[in-house]
Structure 1
Amino acid sequence: MTDFDLRGVYPAMVTPFAPDGSIDHQTLADDARRLERAGVDGLVPVGSTGESATLTHDEHVEVVETVVDAVDVPVIAGSGSNSTREALELSRRSAEVGADALLLISPYYNKPEQAGFVEHYRTIADAVDVPQIVYNVPSRTGQNMEPATVEALAAHENIAGYKAASGDLNQISEVIERTRDEEFAVLSGDDGLTLPVLAVGGVGTISVCANVEPERTVAMVRAALDDDDYARARELHHELGPLCRQLFVETNPIPVTAAMEIRGYGPNALRPPLTELSEGHYEALEELLSDLEATRESSLELGVVEGE
């Protein structure tokens, strides 16, 4: 396995769709380059935010390939499934088109026991020789991955990290405690908890908010990790707080897709059964994004700037 430094900010990318419902690969590539210029440490296409659940396997791999071809930063491809066989196929194909690492959501709907999680992830890690991140998001999958399970997985040389989206900081802290002796990265999967996760030993974030405010998100994470400047990091955390909450007033990626349209980054188009953001929430998001834009220059004066 190639060494992979998972420190930093990794936007969970939106997949843009054309009016006919097909994938808009040009907008996807342009957006990947925009995020790279903003200073992110890597990109995560075809996760939950990228509507992986409604893409065919071929579309899934094509999205990964488009992003890989567009940028020089590392690409972490979402390649999970509730079927171990399907997750293995997507993982192999994503690695073949150049993904530097893989993000694997825990099997959803099936609700496996903890032993099933271990078998699922080890099967893929044994077969695909790229760094892999296990992803715990029980609000979507229906089953929590226990800290002891994550500890067992962290011993595998190809399992390099954990995306923590349980919303339970005590549990996340325990995972960090249990894996401190391994080369294993814990990343926040909840935007509102990124700074608290960094404070207890996390090393970065796979972020929805970073699609819309990549510079501020990068500045916050670097202030904490690189500069040990938690006063600066807290300031940025609170600036981003209203956006983090607004991007989850309806099911992700409904609000962030609307935000992409408001900012001019992509179309407000989703695949059924997802629907467009309700009018009231859209107006509130427009106002919030306008306020953030107005304070961008002063906010980032002491942090990173676009193009750094």
Structure 2
Amino acid sequence: MTHDIDFTGVFPAMCTPFDADERIDYETLRADAQRLETAGVDGLVPVGSTGESATLTHDEHVRVLEAVIDAVDDVPVIAGTGSNNTREALELSERAADAGADGLLLISPYYNKPEQRGLLEHYRTIADAVDVPQIVYNVPSRTGRTIEPDTVVELADHPNIGGYKAAEGDLGVIGEIVERTADSDFSVLSGDDALTLPMLSIGGRGGISVVANIEPERTVAMVGAALEGDYERARAIHHELGPLMRELFVETNPIPVKEAMAIRGYGPARLRPPLTRLQDEYREDLEAILEDLENQPTSRAEAE
């Protein structure tokens, strides 16, 4: 197929809200999806790492996805469907496609630590079988294995693979992938909010973002300004968001972002074990950062 999603812009990696009994709070989930759509994001990414996919059953994956799809009017929904088991990732991808997902985000197999030929086979198996645009996700800190540039470039030739989420933290490697895929219909997206603007400056097309859950308007403004070539404004917004970007990773994601969601009134801070609530020593700093952002104009560049 030709990609029917433009993987450009801001795609919040959504949280999954839980009630006091650790059941999914679908009402809050739908309200959150609508809040983000109204803020102007370019798509939504439920049931990924930020959505605590590791502690959701396959049926819960599908129900969360369906709830988000039903809640929004006009933004694509990209489902996290990765696994360290190729058969399981394929099953989740097929179920997500059947449920109406517009795209898929596939983390590379974790724990198993496959060689590059195994990664190629894993992604090709799913891309051959599921006719939905797909994003390859490289996050070595969670998987224990990196996807090498040669592998990404080879995967970019597949008609169903339209993007790469980069969370390896190496701009040199990311720049090489951008260069080598520049002539194809392929988007390199940031998986690390602090590197989104630097990535945009070397040809990245946006980001799958954690900070956009809390500050979607600012994140959209920053990415939009950079894509339009207005780096003065983009830098100003990036620096406004910098303290929050850093604070959202003082503990394992999504612990801090769920606390921030609760502080802002967007959803509960509850997590499923083994994840635990943010330590009190960090909460005061997070509250201060969020208050400071609320008291600022949308961007200093605009205010000037």
TM-score (norm 1): 0.96
In the other structure, the counterpart of 1:279 is 280
Counterpart contact for 1:161–1:187, Cα < 8 Å: yes
Counterpart contact for 2:232–2:301, Cα < 8 Å: no
CA RMSD, 1 decimal: 1.2
| Partner Cα distance (2:91, 2:264) in 1 | 36
SS at the partner of 1:122?
A: helix
Structure 1 residue 269 and structure 2 residue 274: aligned? no
| Partner Cα distance (2:41, 2:186) in 1 | 20
Q: CA deviation at 1:177?
A: 1.1
Structure 1 residue 4 and structure 2 residue 5: aligned? yes
| Partner Cα distance (1:300, 1:76) in 2 | 32
Q: Which runs of 4+ in 1 moved over 4 A?
A: 297-303
Alignment of structure 1 residues 1-308 onto 2, 5 Å: 1=1, 2-71=3-72, 72-225=74-227, 227-297=228-298, 299=300, 301=302
| Partner Cα distance (2:303, 2:47) in 1 | 33
- Cα shift readout 1:132-188 (whole Å, capped 9, x = no counterpart): 000000000000100000000000000000000001111100111111121100000
SS at the partner of 1:82?
A: coil
| Partner Cα distance (1:20, 1:3) in 2 | 39
In the other structure, the counterpart of 1:306 is none
Q: CA deviation at 1:66?
A: 0.4
Counterpart contact for 1:216–1:300, Cα < 8 Å: no
Unmatched segments (≥5 aa) in structure 2: none
Paired residue type of 1:22: R
SS at the partner of 1:160?
A: strand
Counterpart contact for 2:44–2:77, Cα < 8 Å: yes
Counterpart contact for 1:44–1:77, Cα < 8 Å: yes
Q: Matched residue pairs, number?
A: 302
- Cα shift readout 1:197-253 (whole Å, capped 9, x = no counterpart): 00000001000000000000000000010x210000000111111100000000000
- Cα shift readout 1:3-50 (whole Å, capped 9, x = no counterpart): 211110000000000111100000000000000000000000000000
Counterpart contact for 2:236–2:301, Cα < 8 Å: no
SS at the partner of 1:102?
A: strand
Query: Sequence identity, in percent?
Result: 71
